[in-house]
């Protein structure tokens, strides 16, 4: 039996990204094992949705990535692992750096060791973060209307490549960066079929965002519920944002073409054609929804990058990956999904909210 026909393990599989990947995999005929401690808000709703949609095709283990025995049990018979279980917020890491390390670095090492010692030694795709590149303070930036932009045409038109030196910043950046490097080294030292995605901002349905993580969904939720959005800094910060369906496509290509990407890290995001600033997102939300968004400004937060855009050409060249959703289409889809799940009555996109 080939690995492609074996069950897939998704750690953190009840989260936003994990639940979307699980749904796609089951719909394609695969069985999915989920390991999740359900600590993140919205994860129980996502798990219930998956179980209602797919029944016994979803095998659930309520467990923590810090527990090696639980990992060992979940790995039995698995042919591929997608590792998403993590502490995901810079702000949380600043208040509890030890727990952040134990989950992100320690938990990943637990998983690597269990894969290394397993009979099938499944492939592994780990989601790292653009925070491994630090605050990027050396990049020259200028204010240009509603956003920052780089005067350097290479940075402006290509983004940040994997050639950028690593510069872990914040406990979160350090813990994810350490895990990132462990995954790459286990591929090199122990021959694991493993690769790393250094992710930019992902958004889409089944995301229950907050101020610390999932900011596109968070802004939309605040607008829909007629609450004030807090902007840290000046709002000119730019990110490339990637719609979840395009990310799932990338995951499936990574599994299929692991031989071409094993032992490598790839920057994954919307790329230079899918960038948006905080101010521009607020304007887009108002345009899509007809709502007026109330904004409050606060001081800059530690380790916040003024500009980050992924250069994704390396992964595209290895796998043929292409994105199908631009910013406008993706944000509109997320708005409509969030509006449909809110208790507040919201009209279709383009019409005014009923308060």
Q: Nearest 5°: phi and psi at 13?
A: -70, -10
Strands 238-243 and 275-277: antiparallel
Interatomic CA distance for residues 126 and 194, integer angstroms: 8
Catalytic residues: 172
Helix (H) / strand (E) containing 79: none
C-alpha span between 160 and 173 (Å, rounded) = 17
State how far the Cα of 68 lies from the Cα of 131, in Å rounded to an integer.
27
**If we measure between CA atoms, which residue out of 318, 194, 328, 327 comes closest to residue 272?**
327
Question: Can you tell me the distance from the alpha carbon of 109 to that of 331, in angstroms, rounded to the nearest whole number?
Answer: 35
d(CA 186, CA 178): 12
CB-CB contact of 185 with 116 (8 Å):
no
Which residues, in sequence order, are CB contacts of 69 under 8 Å at separation 6+?
none
Residues 6 or more apart from 330 whose CB is under 8 A from it? Answer: 203, 204, 241, 243, 274
């Amino acid at each position: 039996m080939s690995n492609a026909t074996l069950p897939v393990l998704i750690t953190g599989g009840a989260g936003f990204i994990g639940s979307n990947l699980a749904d796609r995999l089951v719909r394609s005929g695969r069985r999915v094992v989920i390991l999740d401690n359900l600590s993140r808000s919205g994860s129980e709703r996502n798990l219930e949705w998956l179980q209602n949609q797919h029944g016994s095709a979803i095998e659930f283990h309520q467990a923590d990535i810090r527990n090696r025995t639980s990992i060992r049990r979940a790995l039995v018979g698995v042919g591929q692992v997608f590792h998403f279980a993590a502490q995901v917020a810079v702000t949380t890491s600043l208040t509890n750096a030890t727990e952040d390390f134990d989950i992100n670095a320690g938990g990943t090492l637990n998983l690597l060791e269990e894969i290394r010692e397993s009979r099938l030694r499944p492939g592994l795709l780990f989601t790292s973060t653009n925070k491994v590149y630090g605050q990027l303070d050396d990049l020259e930036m200028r204010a240009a209307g509603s956003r920052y932009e780089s005067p350097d045409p290479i940075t402006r038109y290509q983004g940040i490549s994997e050639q950028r030196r690593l510069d872990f910043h914040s406990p979160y950046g350090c813990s994810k960066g350490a895990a990132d490097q462990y995954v790459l080294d286990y591929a090199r030292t122990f021959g694991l079929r493993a690769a790393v995605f250094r992710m930019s901002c992902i958004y889409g349905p089944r995301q229950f965002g907050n101020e610390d993580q999932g900011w596109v969904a968070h802004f939309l939720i605040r607008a829909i519920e007629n609450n004030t959005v807090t902007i840290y800094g000046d709002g000119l910060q730019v990110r490339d944002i990637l719609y979840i369906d395009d990310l799932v496509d990338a995951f499936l290509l990574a599994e299929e073409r692991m031989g071409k990407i094993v032992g490598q890290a790839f920057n994954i995001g919307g790329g230079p054609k899918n960038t948006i600033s905080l101010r521009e997102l607020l304007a887009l939300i108002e345009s899509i929804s007809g709502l007026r968004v109330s904004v409050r400004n606060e001081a800059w937060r530690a380790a916040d990058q003024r500009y980050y855009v992924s250069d994704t050409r390396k992964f595209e060249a290895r796998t043929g990956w292409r994105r199908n959703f631009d910013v406008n289409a993706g944000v509109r889809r997320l708005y409509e999904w969030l509006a449909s799940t809110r208790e507040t009555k919201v009209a279709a996109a383009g019409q005014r909210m009923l308060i």
